[in-house]
Structure 1
């Protein structure tokens, strides 16, 4: 692949452990896996607002109690925020109206997650959703294969609403390795008929405990074939967990990225990744 560029665009004080983001009209919506808020950062005036997603939210919820919001997707004016499903209190999916700035609905996906685990032959301790895409007709939920079984799986759910009857497809992927350790899905975004995804390498066999960070990749999947077009290593030091489309021009495509720093420090760096369009 031709040369990519990765740069720090800016830093936001007040958000820690960023795990997902969505860019829309100079506003950057961000979730953190240890927070009960959806953050809204205006990139023009650098103002940060926060919107409660759960009752009695705080910015640093203890690890054993946190809802673990790991993925964020949107359709029309609704944001969908997903818990990872990696423990019993991480099964929430919140629908948020970005026009009126309010929570539309809170959903418990414990039954759906159980069906997905059974269908995909993924043990509960290896189930850890960290990416979500919704195109209005289909949901694509990404299981991060950082457990013992290394199950990097995309679940395709054919349904307009996750409360409807649905057809389910599970597609498994072997992602690239660093130092012999396979990378695992951490986020994804739909751009036209392609899914761009992040995967990262952490030296751990647990979906719960963090490990040494060894690097991250960007990759692309063709929506028609569900096969990987390419993967590209973009860092040896960052655990990127959030990806959103920024702009496309002059045969280049730009994304905004955020990283989970695995600390209680309330600051988040936003990176810009520029790729040539292949």
Structure 2
């Protein structure tokens, strides 16, 4: 078996510009960066359900108006969706209770401003594209695809008062550094996706040069493994599918930066017996 295998698992009609996903039981919860719905896809039944996050939820929202939900994570019995923070109207966090179906919205503008001050990031360069919760701390993953090229992890308490920023160097393609597009916690490792785009803008898309899977130490954030998995795809969503002593399987989604309401779900398998992955 090779170090990794990547295969198209299935396609979902009705979702475009997928930017994050959570695998739970027999469902995939999926977000789109140009939509204000949360989507639930039943894998067995092959049925898609839309969950309205706002009274006037829409699909294919114009770029200047969209909430730009780029991160989704589970904390307890709730799913949390984070706006990227790359423009003033992208500063929302929405939670969805998996049992009661209750939806709560919070404005994170003040906290996002603190993030920028902590890391000396300009208004144009904040771009959060991954989130996880561990040890009573939020970990927010900054995609350094702006002019300042600051990849890193913000670690902050639940109130956003105690904030630290850890810069994270990532591999390069054609001398352009990869930038975070998602991250999840699996046992004592942070697995992440990173993409290389030929752009210095958090707003405008660039030519896609490839995507990586990698791992960081949970304690030190040291890069312990990285592997280029595609030269053409910009993978933006990562969730655990299954794990064993021999292998770990993830599901990935891709943002094609189009208005087509169709999303491809890929399965990525890593061989844990490979020395380069352990």
For normalisation by structure 1, the TM-score amounts to 0.96
CA deviations on 1:19-67 (whole Å, 9 max, x unpaired) are 0000000100000000010000000100100101123011110000000
Distance 2:37 2:200 in 1: 29
Superposed displacement of residue 153, structure 1: 1.3
Give the corresponding residue for 1:23.
Answer: 23
Give the corresponding residue for 1:201.
Answer: 196
Give the corresponding residue for 1:4.
Answer: 4
Give the corresponding residue for 1:57.
Answer: 57
* Stretch of structure 1 that moved more, 17-26 or 219-228: 219-228
Give the corresponding residue for 2:136.
Answer: 137
Distance 1:54 1:255 in 2: 30
Contact 2:17–2:258 (8 Å) recurs in 1? yes
Task: Say yes or no: does 1:229 pair with 2:250.
Answer: no
Give the corresponding residue for 1:273.
Answer: 268
CA deviations on 1:141-196 (whole Å, 9 max, x unpaired) are 01100001110010011x2x3xx363211000111111111110000001111110
Distance 2:124 2:80 in 1: 24
Give the corresponding residue for 1:256.
Answer: 251
Contact 1:51–1:101 (8 Å) recurs in 2? no
Task: Say yes or no: does 1:171 pair with 2:166.
Answer: yes
Distance 2:2 2:120 in 1: 38
Distance 2:160 2:36 in 1: 29
Describe the shift of the 1:136–1:78 C-alpha distance in structure 2 as closer, same or farther (beyond 3 A): farther
The DSSP-based 3-state class of the residue aligned with 1:199 is: strand
Superposed displacement of residue 138, structure 1: 1.1
Contact 1:75–1:136 (8 Å) recurs in 2? no
Give the corresponding residue for 2:154.
Answer: 155
The DSSP-based 3-state class of the residue aligned with 2:112 is: helix
Give the corresponding residue for 2:118.
Answer: 119
* Stretch of structure 1 that moved more, 128-137 or 113-122: 128-137
Residue segments in structure 1 that go unaligned for 5+ positions in a row? none
Distance 1:173 1:224 in 2: 13
For normalisation by structure 2, the TM-score amounts to 0.96
Distance 1:40 1:188 in 2: 20
Distance 1:70 1:224 in 2: 25
Equivalent residues, number: 273
Distance 1:41 1:204 in 2: 33
Distance 1:11 1:207 in 2: 27
Distance 2:214 2:228 in 1: 9
Query: Of residues 209, 212, 218 in structure 2, which corresponds to 1:214?
Result: 209
